[in-house]
Amino acid sequence: MSLTKIFDIAGSAMSAQSVRLNATASNLANVNSVSGDPAAVYRSRQPVFSVDSLGSDSPGVAGVRVDDVVKTTAEPKLVHMPDHPDADENGNVYTSNVNVVDEMVNMIAASRSYQNSVEVAKVSKELLLRTLSLGQ
């Protein structure tokens, strides 16, 4: 039981949010990926968060764990592009199902959350250092 548990909590939150930022970056990078096969086209990836007790039996400790990164089930968009080398027999290609607006919102939320965790870790570090120098 010490302030060091907060570093675990903030660290787990930062790593979860960076997984989310990574997924957002991948989604935004692949927003224009196309394929002639709707099953093969890029699908938006989203992390699923859950509570992690971080091996502590204290009820107040709750870190974040990335349970899984799932591919969303939204249908890929159909675009008629007969000149495209990947087009199917009807001249259609499928583009990824990434929603750019959703991804931008995710990016902002993830970076805010990351900043909060950095702040928490910074304050905890100062408190811990002050506690260590108590009585000097």
Partner 1 sequence: MPTYIDQVFSGHERSLAVNRQRLEVVASNLANAETPAYKARDVDFRSAMRSAEAEGVTLRTTRPGHIAEPGDARPASLHYRTANQPSLDGNTVDSDKEKAAFAEASTRYQASLTFLSQRIRGLRLAITGSR
71: exposed, middle or buried (Cβ count in 10 Å: 0-12, 13-18, 19+): exposed
HSE-up (13 A, CA, CB side) for residue 71: 9
Check binding of 134 to partner 1 (CB under 8 A): yes
**Residue in 21, 28, 62, 69 binding partner 1, rule: CB under 8 A:** 62
Q: Which stretch binds partner 1 (CB under 8 A): 12-20, 25-33, 82-90, 93-101?
A: 12-20
The encoded tokens of residue 68 equal: 């899984």
Contact stretch for partner 1 (CB under 8 A) within 36-44, 46-54, 73-81, 97-105: 46-54
Residue 55 binding partner 1, by CB under 8 A: no
